[in-house]
Structures are given as C-alpha cells and as structure tokens.
C-alpha cells in the first residue's frame, strides 16, 4: 500500500472537477493509503471559520473528505509553513504528495518526491518515482 499525503487544495478537487480522488488514487498507484496531516486539517478548519461564504462552504465540504484519510499528527516549527511540513514529512516517509499547488509541486519535484495532480481537469496523474 502506498501512502499519499493530500494537501489542503487537493480536498477541493472533488468539488471543482467532479473527480473521485480516492478511486483515482487507487487506480493510479495500486492501493493508496490517503493521509492528511494535522496541519492540513487545521488549515481547512481556519478556512471554514474565516473567508467568504462560498469558501467556508467549500472548506466544510472539503473537511468531509478528510474523514476518509488517516490523520497523522504533524508538528510545525515556528518558521515552517504547511507546505514545509508536507515536504518534510513526504521526504521522511518516502511517499507521494497529492497537490495542485504550483509552488509546492515545484519544491516536491526538486526534492525528488512523487507528485500526484489533476491533469486536463479530468484525471489524476503522477510524476516521479515512489521509493
């Protein structure tokens, strides 16, 4: 089973593109074990509390998808961003990261981490090699 850390923006994929990300991850990677870090859950919780009405509703829907993942407690250093925690954890575990964030994808690729992302607004694609 392949661990895949889902970034906060990836939880919006089912809402925006009507893609069943969990089924697609399984098809793409064999049997995927979706993981959400506690820092990502906290980020989504902040969005449900603050933001436009539309963003709050989307974030609440995104929070429902986190329930289908294993939640792992992740410590965040005082100078670290959520992306830093995702990158550090993925490197430590040797696992993939599912994200559509361009900056995070670039950093992950530079560090040799497998990236899963939406391609052509209709399917998931993986780039890189799993350890």
54-100 pLDDT, tens digit each: 999 999 999 999 999 999 999 888 889 999 999 999 999 999 999 99
Domains of the chain, earliest start first: 2-127 (3.40.50.1010)
Q: Model's pTM, two decimal places?
A: 0.93
6-63 per-position pLDDT tens digit:
999 999 999 899 999 999 999 999 899 999 999 999 999 999 998 889 999 999 999 9
Q: Per-residue DSSP letters for the chain?
A: -EEEEEPGGGGGHHHHH---HHHHHHHHHSSEEEEEEHHHHHHHHHHHHSS-HHHHHHHHHHHHHHTTSEEE-----TT--HHHHHHHHHHHHT-EEE---HHHHHHHHHTT--EEEEETTTEEEEES---
């Amino acid at each position: 089973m392949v661990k895949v850390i889902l970034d906060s923006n990836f939880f919006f994929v089912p809402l925006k593109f009507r893609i069943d990300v969990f089924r697609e991850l399984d098809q793409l990677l064999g049997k995927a074990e979706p993981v959400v870090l506690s820092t990502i859950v906290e980020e989504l919780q902040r969005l449900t509390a603050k933001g436009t009405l539309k963003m709050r509703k989307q974030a609440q829907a995104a929070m429902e998808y986190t329930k289908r993942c294993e939640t792992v407690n992740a410590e965040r250093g005082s100078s670290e961003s959520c992306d830093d925690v995702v990158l550090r954890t993925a490197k430590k575990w040797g696992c993939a990261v599912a994200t559509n964030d361009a900056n995070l994808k670039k950093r992950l690729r530079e560090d040799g981490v497998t990236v899963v992302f939406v391609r052509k607004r209709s399917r998931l694609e993986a780039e890189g090699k799993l350890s």
